[in-house]
A and B are shown apart, each in its own frame.
Chain A
Amino acid sequence: MKKDKDQIKQLLVSIVGQENISGEVPDLIPYIRDSYSTMMGRNIPLPDFVVMPETVDEVQKIVLLANDYLIPIYPRSIGVNIAGSALPYKEGGIILDLKRMNKILEINEDTMTATIQPGVTWGQLRKEANKKKLDIIPIGGPYQTSPVGNHLLTNITPYSSKYHCDRAMTLKVILPNGKILRTGSWASEHGGDANPYFRYAYGPDITGMFRGSLGNFGIIVEMVERLRPVAPVEKEIAFGFKELGPCLKALQAIERLEFTRTCQVYNNILAAHLCLAPHRIKEPGEREKLLAKLPPYQLGIGLGGTEEMVALFEKITAEEAGKRGGYSVPVELELESVAKGASRAIMHMYAPLSGFAAIIGCLPITHVAEINDIVKEAVKKYDVRDPLTGEPQEHELIVIPYDRSSTVYVEQEILYDPAADRATLEPVMQCLRECYAKIVVQYGASHTIPNKTLMKMLVPSYGELLVNFKKMVDPNGIMLPGGPYSLE
Chain B
Amino acid sequence: MLTDYRSTIYHCLKCGACKQAFDIYMPICPSGMKYGFDSHYAIGRISLARAIIDGEINLDTALMHRVYTCTHCGACDEQCHDAVGVDPLRVIQELKYEAVDKGLIPPEVRDYLKNMNVYGNPYMLPAEDRGKWSLNLDIKSFAHQEYLFYVGDMGSYDALGQQIARSVAKALVAAGISFGILGDKEMTDGNEINLVGEKGLYEYLATANINLFKELGIKKIITLSPHAYNAFKNDYPAWGGDFEVQHYSQVLAQAISNKKLKVKGIKKVKVTFHDPCFLGRHNKEYDAPRQILKAIPGVELVEMERSRNNALCCGGGGGNFFTDMLGSGTKSPSRIRVHEAIDTGAKIIATTCPKCFNMLDDAIKAENAEDQITIKDLSQFLL
Contacts and interface: CB of A to CB of B under 8 A. Distances in A.
Check if A and B associate. yes
Interface residues of A, number: 49
Contacts of A144: 15-17, 19-20, 22
A33 B53 CA distance: 14
Contact of B25 (A19, A24, A143): A143
Interface in B144-202: none
A170 to B, nearest CB: 24
B20 A278 contact: no
A347 interface: yes
B3 to A, nearest CB: 11
Interface in B37-62: 37-39, 43-44, 47-48, 50-51, 56-57, 62
Interface string B66-108: 1000000000000101111110000000000000000000000
Contact of A50 (B15, B16, B37, B50): B37
A177 interface: no
Interface string B1-42: 000001101111111110110101110000000011111000
Interface stretch (A121-129, A359-367, A376-384, A452-460): A121-129
Given A25-B57, A143-B25, A354-B84, A35 B14 contact: yes
Nearest to B52: A29
Nearest to B331: A19
Contacts of A124: 20, 25-26
B43 A79 contact: yes
A190 interface: no
B18 to A, nearest CB: 9
Given A30-B43, A121-B20, A347-B13, A100 B84 contact: no
B81 A279 contact: yes
B296 interface: no
Looking at B19, B36, B44, the one whose CB has the most chain A CB atoms below 10 A away is: B36
A109 B62 CA distance: 49
B51 A354 contact: no
B38 A97 contact: yes
A140 B24 CA distance: 19
A104 to B, nearest CB: 11
B44 A30 contact: yes
A418 interface: yes
B256 interface: no
A79 B38 contact: yes
Contact of A127 (B7, B25, B79): B25
A81 B7 contact: no
A425 B81 CA distance: 25
A279 B17 CA distance: 16
B63 interface: yes
A395 to B, nearest CB: 19
A30 to B, nearest CB: 4
Contact of A142 (B17, B37, B38): B17
Interface string A1-42: 000000000000000000110101111011101110010000
A29 B83 contact: no
Given A347-B17, A351-B85, A29 B11 contact: no
A82 interface: yes
A52 B41 CA distance: 15
A134 B45 CA distance: 37
A344 B10 contact: no
A485 interface: no
Interface in A34-60: 34-35, 38, 50, 52
Contacts of A123: 20, 22, 25
A167 interface: no
A350 B47 contact: no
A352 interface: yes
A24 B62 contact: yes
A405 B193 CA distance: 62
Contact of B22 (A30, A279, A344): A344
Interface of B: 6-7, 9-17, 19-20, 22, 24-26, 35-39, 43-44, 47-48, 50-51, 56-57, 62-63, 66, 79, 81-86
Report the 3 A-B pairs with minimum CB-CB distance, sorted nearest first: A278-B85, A123-B25, A30-B44
Given A144-B16, A145-B16, 6 more contacts: A35-B14, A80-B14, A277-B82, A282-B85, A347-B15, A419-B7
11 contacts: A22-B39, A26-B62, A31-B38, A35-B13, A127-B25, A144-B20, A145-B16, A279-B85, A344-B17, A344-B82, A417-B7
